[in-house]
Chain A
């Protein structure tokens, strides 16, 4: 029974990693941009929610609704005025720029909020659990997984059922030909990053309610997110969810054997998947 419990907890943890990864996966899928500041943007989102909670006395779950449009605007502007300028055949410039952005964000947050670790208040939700047979499931982890699935479902609907989604896919296939259809690739990319920032804000909510955070925790979230994206196959959103769950499972199982192995087991699972399926579990047919 203890193993069943471990597996359930691992899957739930995977929901959190999938949320970290979904925005990264979306942006990479559309414009082949690896945003090294992704983890720090999640932390920025958490501080923004914290600010709204402290200043306006909102619940974090309400504050996220206020923070999301602001983060969309930030993502839109970031892409439109900075990242679009470095997108091109060479993959190095965007890596350098987002790496720089990561450092700037970490230091700005350190300056503004100090290195003290913070936590979003949940009014007891963080310790609440429900009993499923012999297993106790935390309410917050369960909400995280459900949210992750919802985010992926909504993203897939946008991608495959809407005019905007068609423009995303067309621009991703061939930006020049897309512009012949009247699509402005620069705008499409900006909207995509804006949407990714909404997901980042949702991820930030769960980052901040489930554990402590401080300005330096971004890069580690980026690693988990990146591993989830790679395991799933670049550009596949469902693959990203599965990738998150695989890392979550590996970490929980590793920790069950020996608590020191938690982080290491996640990375080992990532390497094993890469060895067997170098392009991930669900690679895109065309690349």
Chain B
């Protein structure tokens, strides 16, 4: 049984349909990358998985249970944590408080704790009493990842964790991914930076215009196939 599965997942913003029957599957311990251009529906997919956008119950199953219609707080309590696009730290909370609130709805013992997060990102310990929003973009991203890890999630959703960051910072952030993986959490990583995504992922889904256009292991996918799935096939004249 897959840890997470979507079946014919759709999403609408008013009359605008953003997802058209998306089927993805995440096995226990697996890291999935979802790539695609702007507007392909990646963030909408993440918002659906995390419960921010509601769906029909059976559209999403997690550990065999239908969770498609659960609100975000109930989804989180079941073990799906989200690193939202744009990091979304709480400006009124210090770095440490931002981390601590990550386990608000799910306080279980596991690999991740305040100490473990500080070990993963030592710079955060030095700045623990700063307001979260006083940090650099890369450090804020570390807080957002740490905050999600604090609930010891079964599945970690990372939405655009490299967006707007300098390449050297992205390297630091991605260096943490194998250690998160080693802790046993499964991951879904949404990424525009295909190179990074292919490096860490066990399997890749490519999205275009609200549909999955390609899937497979990074080794099995050719550059051309990804290019076509990403930008659409150029019709021969």
Q: In the bound complex, do residue B90 and residue A177 qualify as a contact, i.e. CB atoms below 8 Å apart?
A: yes
Q: Is the interface of A mostly helix, strand, loop or mixed?
A: helix
Chain B positions 88 through 107: 1 when the CB is less than 8 Å from some CB of chain A, otherwise 0:
10111100010011111110
Interface check B10, CB cutoff 8 A: no
Quick one: given A163-B104, A182-B77, A182-B104, are A177 and B88 in contact (CB under 8 Å)? yes
Tally of chain B residues near chain A (CB < 8 A) = 27
Interface check B146, CB cutoff 8 A: no
Interface check B218, CB cutoff 8 A: no
Measured between C-beta atoms, what is the minimum distance from A156 to chain B in Å?
13
Bound together, the chains give a CA A32 to CA B187 distance in angstroms of 36
Q: Which A residues between 173 and 229 are near B, CB-CB below 8 angstroms? A: 173-174, 176-184
Bound together, the chains give a CA A184 to CA B104 distance in angstroms of 10
Q: In the bound complex, do residue B82 and residue A180 qualify as a contact, i.e. CB atoms below 8 Å apart?
A: yes
Measured between C-beta atoms, what is the minimum distance from B236 to chain A in Å?
45
Q: In the complex, which of the residues A163, A170, A177, A181 contacts B92, with contact meaning CB atoms closer than 8 Å?
A: A170
Bound together, the chains give a CA A173 to CA B98 distance in angstroms of 12
Interface check B73, CB cutoff 8 A: yes
Q: In the bound complex, do residue A169 and residue B92 qualify as a contact, i.e. CB atoms below 8 Å apart?
A: yes
Bound together, the chains give a CA A181 to CA B147 distance in angstroms of 9
Q: In the complex, which of the residues A169, A184, A285 contacts B90, with contact meaning CB atoms closer than 8 Å?
A: A169
Q: From B78, which residue of chain A is reached at the shortest CB distance?
A: A182
Measured between C-beta atoms, what is the minimum distance from B167 to chain A in Å?
27
Interface check A245, CB cutoff 8 A: no
Bound together, the chains give a CA A181 to CA B84 distance in angstroms of 11
Bound together, the chains give a CA A163 to CA B97 distance in angstroms of 9
Q: In the bound complex, do residue B52 and residue A179 qualify as a contact, i.e. CB atoms below 8 Å apart?
A: yes
| Chain A residues, CB < 8 A from B81 | 180
Quick one: given A167-B101, A167-B104, are A179 and B91 in contact (CB under 8 Å)? no
Measured between C-beta atoms, what is the minimum distance from B219 to chain A in Å?
33
Quick one: given A166-B97, A176-B72, are A183 and B105 in contact (CB under 8 Å)? yes
Chain A positions 72 through 93: 1 when the CB is less than 8 Å from some CB of chain B, otherwise 0:
0000000000000000000000
Interface check B151, CB cutoff 8 A: yes
Q: In the bound complex, do residue A181 and residue B105 qualify as a contact, i.e. CB atoms below 8 Å apart?
A: yes
Chain A positions 152 through 172: 1 when the CB is less than 8 Å from some CB of chain B, otherwise 0:
000000000001001101101
Q: Which residues of B contact A (CB under 8 A)?
A: 50-52, 71-73, 76-77, 81-82, 84, 88, 90-93, 97, 100-106, 133, 147, 151
Other 20 A-B pairs with CB < 8 A, given A170-B90, A181-B104:
A166-B101, A167-B101, A169-B92, A170-B92, A170-B101, A173-B90, A173-B92, A174-B88, A174-B90, A176-B52, A178-B90, A179-B51, A180-B76, A181-B73, A181-B76, A182-B77, A182-B106, A182-B151, A183-B105, A286-B133
Pull 14 A–B residue pairs with CB atoms less than 8 Å apart, ordered by A.
A166-B97, A169-B90, A169-B93, A169-B97, A170-B104, A179-B71, A179-B76, A180-B50, A180-B72, A181-B76, A181-B102, A182-B104, A183-B101, A184-B73
A-B interface, 6 closest residue pairs, ranked by CB to CB distance from nearest: A182-B105, A179-B72, A169-B92, A182-B76, A177-B88, A173-B90
